Structure 1
Amino acid sequence: MNLDFSLILVLVTALTGVLWLLDSAIFAPRRRQALQDAQAQAQETLPDAQRKALLRQPGWADTSKSMFPVLLLVLLLRSFLYEPFQIPSGSMLPTLKIGDFILVNKYHYGLRLPVLNTRFVSNNDPQHGDVIVFRYPEDTSVNFIKRVVGVPGDLITYKDKVLYINGVPQQQELLAKLPPSRPEQLLLNETLDEVGHRIYRDLYRPVIDGEWRVPEGNYFVLGDNRDNSKDSRYWGFVPEELLVGKATAVWMHWDGLLSLPDFSDVRRIN
């Protein structure tokens, strides 16, 4: 089962806020009244220790007061500005490696409500070549990352491992054969709208040919590791309402618990 961290964060933030408000509105006035009654009964100002004891917040109230501002700040930052993600698979090699930690711009495609993902402020639309994070159409609790190659109205053709957009083949420049002695894979530079990015093409994997017309409000996406990516060729289009944001930068790489985080490959994502 996949945990929805956004939902958990919203619920915990709401809970701590309600508890803090409850204490401020109901229980704090009662503590102050108890102090006033005790001082009236004693007919003198009580010692500091006794005053502090009467005014002391219960543990749940103190914890809520401390946590709510922090949780609210985190919720606002990751909902409307930037959210970190970790790359779990090799479908975006060579652009993104397994273990890369990336930042996703949450406002580039418009502001969305947390959990509901409903856009309430419009901004840019995805363009050819954008690397996007989105909710997987077949299981919206899972986030995917792919590259946009088709926008609404485009005719996308994939033939002999070459991408065509509206009948125009997208230029592929050979950079290397891997490994050089007995090549099994090609490293290529592919150009979309005059912006280049690197892709892998396997020499011996079967070709997946097809043609798709991108409907309004949807996008066609591919992995840069073309022959090792389950993408729009397999499961269809990405609806606009499932967009999460634009992947903008790699800020850390971490292979796992038995290794140290690596900050040597901090870079923008092209």
Structure 2
Amino acid sequence: MQSILSNFALILFIAMVVTGVIWCLDVFILSKQRRRKADAALAEYDARTSKLTADGIKVDSNVNRAAIEQAHLRQPTWIEYSGSFFPVIALVFVLRSFLWEPFKIPSSSMVPTLLVGDFILVNKYAYGIRLPIINKKVVEIADPQRGDVMVFKYPKDMSQDYIKRVIGVPGDKISYENKRLTVNGKPVEYTPLDDYLDDQHPVYHKQFTEHLASTPHRILNTEGKRTLDLGAVENFPNREACDFSYDKFTCIVPEGNYFMMGDNRDNSADSRYWGFVPDKNIVGKAIVVWMNFGNPKRIGGIQ
């Protein structure tokens, strides 16, 4: 799960609009008013200087004119700071709204692919260009594919961003039995690996390479845990498309929705429990770990 300040995009947008309005107001109106006042003050000074010169009094007009002009043209502090911040805020807003957005992983649901403390970069345009704030898609580019690691708005609370792996796309029939996936009637292949030691908790997990579509990736299973905690399954839209039992479930992914699971299979709250992810909730595709201050070796691409 990935959670961030839910209204950060809105705050950034408001800050951009406010500083942008002030910048435009200064460029097109206030700066011209200051220029007119400076010209009037200079004209008055020149007239006074001419009179003094005519009376035989010597005046260093160049120095005084420059000081008068600078005093009248100087921007008020609030305008100066707004003008300085506006391009920076606008650049950040455009980058994180349409191109890339950073996230920090706070939980272990995607271990071993993503660890707690990983800073990841999410491609915001991989699945289409969306309007910021309202997250409405305006340009189609591509659809999520099985195996993609995707960030999305949690269907139960749109203020939270989650990150999971795409297991099923619209129309897929997903079955999970004895901790093994079957997609559209074809069992997914698993290759055993050495046990995985969880750094957060001194526990060994069974580790496998899961060959889902063209994206092999590692997943974990915890011995002693059931395939599904049936008591934790919630009511969710299109729940009738799923059939649950204590050792198995089967779901047919509705049109316009995706079935998501964490790689740490027995320690992940995902589509098995709270349902499908609508296309409108998609944020972007996770592409790289760009920093982990506790483990710099983590830097690299995400499989």
The two structures have a TM-score, normalised by structure 2, of 0.83
Percent identity among equivalent residues? 48
Give a deviation string over 1:78-127, Cα, whole Å, max 9, x none.
Answer: 11111111101000000000000011011110111111111111101000
SS in 1 for 2:266: helix
Displacement after TM superposition at 1:167 (Å)? 1.5
Displacement after TM superposition at 1:26 (Å)? 2.4
2:222 alignment partner AA: D
Q: How many residues align?
A: 261
Q: Superposition RMSD on alpha carbons, in Å?
A: 1.6
Q: 1:189 aligns with which of 181, 185, 209?
A: 209
Report whether the alignment pairs 1:267 with 2:291.
no
Q: Structure 1 residues 99-108 or 187-196, which shifts more?
A: 187-196
Q: 1:86 aligns with which of 101, 104, 118?
A: 104
After TM superposition, the structure 1 = structure 2 runs for residues 90-169 of structure 1, keeping only pairs within 5 Å, are 90-169=108-187
| Distance (Å, rounded) in 1 between the aligned partners of 2:196 and 2:108 | 16
Q: Is this contact kept in 1: 2:171–2:252, CA < 8 A? A: yes
Gaps of 5+ in 2: 48-60, 198-202, 229-247
Q: 1:26 aligns with which of 21, 26, 29?
A: 29
Q: 2:13 aligns with which of 10, 13, 24?
A: 10
2:255 alignment partner AA: E
Q: Is this contact kept in 2: 1:187–1:200, CA < 8 A? A: yes
Displacement after TM superposition at 1:2 (Å)? 4.2
Q: Is this contact kept in 1: 2:147–2:214, CA < 8 A? A: no
Gaps of 5+ in 1: 256-261
| Distance (Å, rounded) in 1 between the aligned partners of 2:289 and 2:249 | 32
| Distance (Å, rounded) in 1 between the aligned partners of 2:215 and 2:76 | 59
Displacement after TM superposition at 1:62 (Å)? 0.6
| Distance (Å, rounded) in 2 between the aligned partners of 1:206 and 1:184 | 16
| Distance (Å, rounded) in 2 between the aligned partners of 1:97 and 1:171 | 24
| Distance (Å, rounded) in 2 between the aligned partners of 1:254 and 1:178 | 21
Q: 1:229 aligns with which of 262, 268, 272?
A: 268
The structure whose Rg is larger is 2
Report whether the alignment pairs 1:242 with 2:262.
no
Displacement after TM superposition at 1:265 (Å)? 2.2
Displacement after TM superposition at 1:178 (Å)? 4.7
Displacement after TM superposition at 1:184 (Å)? 5.0
After TM superposition, the structure 1 = structure 2 runs for residues 39-50 of structure 1, keeping only pairs within 5 Å, are 39-43=42-46, 47-50=65-68
1:157 alignment partner AA: S
Q: Is this contact kept in 2: 1:214–1:220, CA < 8 A? A: yes
Query: How has the CA–CA distance of structure 1 residues 35 and 177 changed in structure 2, closer, same or farther, with 3 Å as cutoff?
Result: closer
Q: Is this contact kept in 2: 1:184–1:204, CA < 8 A? A: no
Report whether the alignment pairs 1:204 with 2:224.
yes
1:188 alignment partner AA: F
Displacement after TM superposition at 1:36 (Å)? 1.4
Q: Is this contact kept in 2: 1:84–1:102, CA < 8 A? A: yes
Displacement after TM superposition at 1:5 (Å)? 1.2
Query: How has the CA–CA distance of structure 1 residues 184 and 99 changed in structure 2, closer, same or farther, with 3 Å as cutoff?
Result: closer
SS in 2 for 1:186: strand
SS in 1 for 2:297: coil
1:211 alignment partner AA: T
Displacement after TM superposition at 1:39 (Å)? 1.8
Q: Structure 1 residues 88-97 or 199-208, which shifts more?
A: 199-208
1:5 alignment partner AA: F
| Distance (Å, rounded) in 2 between the aligned partners of 1:178 and 1:251 | 23
Displacement after TM superposition at 1:264 (Å)? 2.2
| Distance (Å, rounded) in 2 between the aligned partners of 1:232 and 1:96 | 18
